[in-house]
Structure 1
Amino acid sequence: MTTPATRRTFEYATVPLLTHATKAILDTWGEDGWELVQVVPGPNPEQLVAYLKRERA
């Protein structure tokens, strides 16, 4: 069982991905400590949405 002192907490972000710049966008977020959780279709066929998380300090 985890105690409040040892429990990890996360923050989350949703990021629109442009198909022609997906790697660059994800690399930028990754450099800031964000981990990719999932990519889902966006509101139009040319767009994807990335769900990211990172541990809070």
Structure 2
Amino acid sequence: MRGAARLRAMTKWEYATVPLLIHATKAILDQWGDDGWELVTVLPNPSGEQHVAYLKRAKA
């Protein structure tokens, strides 16, 4: 029973990937943060044109 109770208590996450514009990075991340998203990492886009932010937040 401990295992089943533990599974129910685990946090479930949803994820988003967001392209970042160099001139508006802070504003973009602030807006997503205001909506409850936490930044996980930022990686270069494979095309090299812009970066991509990976975010997560707990499911309601």
What is the TM-score of this pair, normalised by structure 2? Answer: 0.84
Say if 2:31 is the partner of 1:28.
yes
Larger Rg: 2
Aligned residues: 56
Take 1:25 and 1:31, find their aligned partners in 2: how far apart are those partners? 10
**Structure that is richer in helix per residue:** 2
Instruction: Provide runs of 4+ in structure 1 moved above 2 Å.
Output: none
* Structure 2 alignment gaps of length 5 or more: none
The equivalent of 2:20 in structure 1 is: 17
The alpha-carbon deviation at position 35 of structure 1 amounts to: 0.2
* Structure 1 alignment gaps of length 5 or more: none
**Structure that is richer in strand per residue:** 1
Give percent identity, aligned residues only: 61
